[in-house]
Structure 1
Amino acid sequence: MADKLRVTKVEQVQVLAGGEVSLVTLHLTPHHLILVRAAAPPSSQHSPKKASTKPRPQESWIAYPMIAFCTFRPTPHGSGIWSSLRIRGRDFKFITLNIEDDKKARDAYESIKGATCKLGSIEKLHAFVYDPPPPEKKISGWEIYDAKAEWKRQGISDKGLDRGWRISKINIDYAFSPTYPALLPVPSSISDNTLNYAGRYRSRVRIPVLTYLHPVNNCSITRSSQPLAGLRGNRSIQDEKLVSACFSAPAQTDDSDYPSSTQSRASPSSSQPDLGLSSTEGELSETERLEDELLSSSTLEIVSDKQHVYGAQQHNLIVDARPTVNALAMQAVGLGSENMDHYKFATKAYLGIDNIHVMRDSLAKVVEALKDSDISKLPPNRELLAKSGWLKHITGLLDGAALIARQVGIQHSHVLIHCSDGWDRTSQLSALSQLLLDPYYRTIEGFIVLVEKDWLAFGHMFQHRSGFLGSEKWFSVQNDALAGSAIQPGGNGDGRGDAIENALLSAKRFFNKSNQSQDTIESDGETFSFEDSPKVKKSVTKDSQADKEATKPKETSPVFHQFLDATYQLLYQFPTRFEFNERFLRRLLYHLYSCQYGTFLYNNEKSRLDARVQERTASVWSYFLSRRSEFTNKEWDGGELDDHVKGKERLIFPRLDKTRWWSEVFNRNDADMNGPTNTATDKYLGLREDSLGVGHGVLTGIETAKTIVGAGPTRQDSNGNAGRIASLRDGIAGLGIGIGRASPGTKSPNNPTGEAMEVEMQ
């Protein structure tokens, strides 16, 4: 690391932060940028004894991976104007460093750039040399999560009561699905041989597996990736059998261990009552009521004589988190969504949650509204904040999670969640719905287990989405830049035109057999290669490994940030129901990017095991648990549960109209971010154009074997294939690849505005 530093110390540096100016000494160490400000002299009011004590200088430490963008503005020698470095941190802190000597300024810029984005390997990050303090060493954060213990807590173990699930070891060596955990909870009736065949039908062999089993009604939340349906409507009998088994778990019969389902049905949250209780129906929002009516009105075919939990056969749900058109577009490249003719035991709901590129652009627009906070004390531009759509996206996640939680906790149904690869939106919805359903996950230890299980073990691409090794595209030199200009380099508008153009090229190349071996497909922003099969061995050189670990800016996205933001919304709305406080969430987001701990490094369980992170780095959970009092919510009610007392129910549900800015994480006060709204900002928080509901409804489509409800009017199809092919034709026509092309001047019913479709491929 030292070889990356051209200079290690620069004195008399002028710092602008929060509209205030101070003079500091800049120190550049292998892993941190440190600003040291001389301590103010003691005041005359102090006693002589105190005055004789040498005041300590103030230090501000900035870890290099925390740098999101850095712009260098050089000035000609002798101009009398100081050169400057403008830095935006991932913690949304903005600072400007003014340095009189242009050479020193340039050396400082190149040193920061080299230490941030020219490391070449994850193993050169701070986590691999960090020595935690003694209090952290006393706590083994790596042992907090034990997969077998968590499944046993949920009632699944080899020696316990058979609740319809078993722990499969088909992936114990990660050869079956490298991005999945080693232990996979699957239905007891499904053999590993069936799993092996079913895996061929799911993207990256991420088959439907259990992530949560409700302790009261034995209903499940399972998760997977998208099926490989394609334009030809490929199917897999084994996958259909697996999903059917996931939706057919036996009802809970051991009353001594778990409360009765009757008690559960009488105990919904005050904000989201049981849909069967007419006396409280008025508490449901219009959006939520319409969503439930649409789902419950779908006519399903009963395909089994087995006894099921009340409501499970009627409302079992496959949740495709993507917008309907996006899912259809993926069929052009051999992927797509379930053909409901083969899953007649379920209803499919499209949630319309946008992909990683839209979310990244949304956060960039938030930054645009905040970007001048280093040179100005003025509040952010409220209209720009509203235009970013950030709160809409957070509301959509909460709405989707609430829909899933209602199905499981109130409708007593099973739910399967997937998006494209099943590690971004799927992780968000799965984890948030469990927060709503299970009070255990609202404790500090429980939340740690939830993050370990649904984010780390199930393979969220933390390295790709967070960009720990930085990118040279995040550094720029602006010779003629003006103060206050945009920090972010390489901006190109909203990027929709490029996305569509690349989508068309990818789709067309897919059908070109001569180039098939070189084609790549990107879903959820992650590139999929036909050569990526775990069975294909490749020689790995040092350069290829560095390229593999290098940050790809278009694959970064604030997916985990959004999950923490949505959790903050729940904490704010239910301040007595969570053991942890707001600072816990904020510091967790900070340490996601600080790279001080090994917890979030790499992309999946296998990669962390190969890198031996538990042996070579410290766990971030040791940091939090060694400072437990700092992160404990003083308003927590201790986890007391009583389903007959309002405010103490097992379930909680978000109030979607109360979504607000998490001002602390953006380093702003509440008045700046959540002050009175006006007509100019309200229009950006209104109706979703593709929503089936009203207000902020996230539900954009419903499909069964006989019914398709889209953005247009509901239609019943006696021939399920005809309706599906018609919908597919409408969606594919927008791709312009010659299949079901609409005539000139016509518009797809699913795209009434005629705008370019935003698809999953980059």
Structure 2
Amino acid sequence: MEFIELILINKLDGVILKYPHSENVDGTVCITGHHLILSSRKEGVRELWLLHKNIDNIEKKENKPSGNVSQGGSLFLKCKDLRIFQLDIASTTELNLLAQTLENLSNLQDPSFFYPFFYRHMHPIVENGYTLYSLEGEFTKVLATEEWRVSRVNNNYTVCNSYGKVVIVPKSIDDETLTVAATFRQGGRFPVLSYRHTNGAVLVRAGQPLYGPKHRRCRPDEAILNTVVAVGTKGVIYDLRSSNSISQQQNKGGGTESNSNYSQWKIYNRSMDDVDNQQQLLDSYSKLIEACNDREISSDKWISKLESCGWPESVRNSLHTACIIAQHIHHKVEAVLIHGTHGLDATLIVSSLVQIILSPDCRTIRGLQALIEREWLQAGHPFGSRHRCGPYSSSQSQAQCQIRPAPTFTLFLDCVRQFLEQFPCSFEYRQSFLITLFEHAYASQFGTFLCDNEQERESRGVYQQTTSIWSWINQPDELTAYINPLYDPTPGVIWPSVAPMSYVIWEELYLRWLVEQHTEEREEQYRLIRTREQQLRAQAQQLRRELFDVAHQYYAPEGKADVICDK
């Protein structure tokens, strides 16, 4: 296939671009294989370069004809980065040709036709982002403990197609045991090390056990988990599903660990069905953006609409679950295994947030990059499929996807944004870094977030033929834009508040295209006010957390898993 076959019209004059809080632009539209480019003859007006992959939905509205004269109409381009463009076109024929062309180009499925394979970086690459964060390098201290080892049992991706080639497993467990244990876990996702805390407690993640209605047992899987637990202690398994979801999965061959076979583990349920259900999460995200776009609604009704969409609750639920698990690791020095059904969504959000709570390294720019590499890219989160549709996509577009789309990574970034709001001095990066990750995860010139797993990226030549986003971000000139000037490293653990009143809508992302931009003076005043407000809030929260830690040591009931951090 050639791009020329999909482009029915490649140039169109006299197009009017309408965009909120901006003057209308009378210009020329040019269509390339990857971009819609709109340029104006008027000096000082910037060109619009829009990646076709960024287009989420195209709505066409034809003007009513006057007699037998065609009156043209408008195209509304709704984008995954939440922008909405209106293009007014004088001719109905040209309107239809442009709409069909954009439909063709925005719905390409083969990653080899995407822009990262055609993009060439203009400046020399100082470091290769694809080789920057190897598991061996990230777990150097862990591997030095003689308790864990690097396994290449999945070197050919035959044991688990969503894992990378390298995983960290207990040193006493051989590869043959791992291979058998993989047959007992959903998608072959046998238990692997995610994080080891400074006190020695570990976080392990996996897919659900294929327990089934016949109560299947797998001794190699039990051996892996029992090796993780210290002698004389018990570990904790958190199944991130409701009892109803577990029962449904058991009828399909799945389920959860049994107390009799995993006697060295305490088993709890912590429902995150709102996150692991991709359709429910996408619907929640769509309702959030719909509420943000509603300019006619009163403030009271808007707040009600925001809360009822379900997105704030998913953010709080993710943070709360991470706090509970972090407390097992930090306060009780207990090994923790987490899993949902497939281990690709809620599991990865929780494992990532736990590390942000416990590890100061994850609060740095390179630390967050390494975290995303370990817990998302190398762990097999299907970015390509999850980001195929955005909040404006039609149900028909969603139904055409073999793997359901969902804004799981966006939810994770929103959770990190809540940390930045509550601890404005504890993070090296500012929220502009998170927004950049959000944008490039959906549509980018870089190949980092292409495809669904490491195996697919390798087979399609992503690592050889595209540029990593880390190679670009880590350039000194680019990096300065993301550094938090208030950064004062917090060496220990940070506990976020998960009370409903603590949730702050991410207006800099969800509302950034809908409100009028401030002048430079007003922006500076606004920033100073916000900075002072955040400093005072951080001081108050730090005092509250210090009191909470003292209270936790003396009053938290022994054996109680659900210790709430929102007092």
TM-score (norm 1): 0.63
Q: Which has the higher contact order (CA 8 A, sep 6+)?
A: 1
Deviation at 1:221, TM superposition (A): 0.5
For 1:643-682, what aligned pairs fall within 5 Å after superposition? 648-657=490-499, 658-668=502-512
| 2:494 counterpart SS class | coil
Aligned: 1:85 with 2:75: yes
For 1:504-519, what aligned pairs fall within 5 Å after superposition? none
For 1:154-303, what aligned pairs fall within 5 Å after superposition? 154-156=141-143, 160-162=144-146, 164-214=147-197, 216-248=198-230
Identical amino acids, percent of aligned pairs: 27
CA RMSD of aligned residues (A): 2.8
Aligned: 1:356 with 2:359: no
Cα–Cα, structure 1 residues 554 and 144, in superposed 2: closer, same or farther, change >3 Å?
A: closer
Aligned: 1:367 with 2:355: no
Are the counterparts in 2 of residues 340 and 348 from structure 1 also a CA contact under 8 Å? yes
Deviation at 1:631, TM superposition (A): 0.9
Question: How far apart are the structure 2 equivalents of 1:417 and 1:393?
Answer: 18
Are the counterparts in 2 of residues 371 and 487 from structure 1 also a CA contact under 8 Å? no
**Map of 1:269 onto structure 2:** none
Deviation at 1:13, TM superposition (A): 2.1
Code of the aligned partner of 1:433 = V
**Map of 1:15 onto structure 2:** 17
- Name whichever of 185-194 and 620-629 sits farther off: 185-194
Question: How far apart are the structure 1 equivalents of 2:154 and 2:403?
Answer: 30
Code of the aligned partner of 2:243 = T
- Cα deviation, 1:400-419, whole Å, max 9, x if unaligned, reads 11111111112111110111
**Map of 2:254 onto structure 1:** 335
Deviation at 1:583, TM superposition (A): 0.4
Question: How far apart are the structure 2 equivalents of 1:602 and 1:488?
Answer: 20
Aligned: 1:607 with 2:512: no
**Map of 2:242 onto structure 1:** 323
- Cα deviation, 1:133-192, whole Å, max 9, x if unaligned, reads 205x2332222212211111x421xxx341x21222211222221211212211122222
Deviation at 1:120, TM superposition (A): 4.3
Question: How far apart are the structure 2 equivalents of 1:113 and 1:347?
Answer: 52
Code of the aligned partner of 2:484 = N
Code of the aligned partner of 1:138 = V
Question: How far apart are the structure 1 equivalents of 2:173 and 2:97?
Answer: 62
| 2:255 counterpart SS class | coil
- Cα deviation, 1:509-545, whole Å, max 9, x if unaligned, reads xxxxxxxxxxxxxxxx9xxxxxxxxxxxxxxxxxxxx
- Cα deviation, 1:269-293, whole Å, max 9, x if unaligned, reads xxxxxxxxxxxxxxxxxxxxxxxxx
Deviation at 1:76, TM superposition (A): 5.0
Question: How far apart are the structure 1 equivalents of 2:561 and 2:473?
Answer: 48
Aligned: 1:561 with 2:410: yes
Cα–Cα, structure 1 residues 94 and 370, in superposed 2: closer, same or farther, change >3 Å?
A: farther
Are the counterparts in 1 of residues 324 and 561 from structure 2 also a CA contact under 8 Å? no
Candidates 24, 27, 36, aligned match of 2:26: 24
Cα–Cα, structure 1 residues 395 and 669, in superposed 2: closer, same or farther, change >3 Å?
A: farther
Deviation at 1:667, TM superposition (A): 3.0
**Map of 1:531 onto structure 2:** none
Question: How far apart are the structure 1 equivalents of 2:487 and 2:406?
Answer: 32
Question: How far apart are the structure 1 equivalents of 2:402 and 2:509?
Answer: 22
Are the counterparts in 1 of residues 82 and 513 from structure 2 also a CA contact under 8 Å? no
Cα–Cα, structure 1 residues 487 and 633, in superposed 2: closer, same or farther, change >3 Å?
A: closer
**Map of 1:344 onto structure 2:** 263
Deviation at 1:20, TM superposition (A): 5.3
Candidates 110, 114, 117, aligned match of 2:104: 114
Aligned: 1:435 with 2:356: yes
Unpaired runs of at least 5, structure 1: 40-54, 249-305, 308-312, 475-485, 493-524, 526-549, 640-647, 673-705, 710-762
TM-score (norm 2): 0.84
Deviation at 1:567, TM superposition (A): 0.7
**Map of 1:512 onto structure 2:** none
Question: How far apart are the structure 2 equivalents of 1:571 and 1:671?
Answer: 22
For 1:527-566, what aligned pairs fall within 5 Å after superposition? 552=401, 555-566=404-415
- Cα deviation, 1:576-616, whole Å, max 9, x if unaligned, reads 11111100000111001113111111111111111121110
- Cα deviation, 1:630-674, whole Å, max 9, x if unaligned, reads 11111111x3xxxxxxxx3411111112121111111349999xx
Cα–Cα, structure 1 residues 101 and 140, in superposed 2: closer, same or farther, change >3 Å?
A: same
Aligned residues between the structures: 507
Question: How far apart are the structure 2 equivalents of 1:489 and 1:212?
Answer: 39
Deviation at 1:108, TM superposition (A): 1.0
- Cα deviation, 1:194-242, whole Å, max 9, x if unaligned, reads 222212211121101111111x211110010000111121111221121
Aligned: 1:129 with 2:118: yes
Cα–Cα, structure 1 residues 127 and 239, in superposed 2: closer, same or farther, change >3 Å?
A: same
Question: How far apart are the structure 2 equivalents of 1:489 and 1:191?
Answer: 48
| 1:656 counterpart SS class | coil
Code of the aligned partner of 2:461 = R
For 1:371-386, what aligned pairs fall within 5 Å after superposition? 371=293, 381-386=302-307
Are the counterparts in 1 of residues 36 and 52 from structure 2 also a CA contact under 8 Å? yes
Aligned: 1:633 with 2:484: yes
Candidates 327, 331, 340, aligned match of 1:410: 331
Cα–Cα, structure 1 residues 182 and 553, in superposed 2: closer, same or farther, change >3 Å?
A: closer
Candidates 74, 82, 94, aligned match of 1:104: 94
Are the counterparts in 2 of residues 167 and 183 from structure 1 also a CA contact under 8 Å? yes
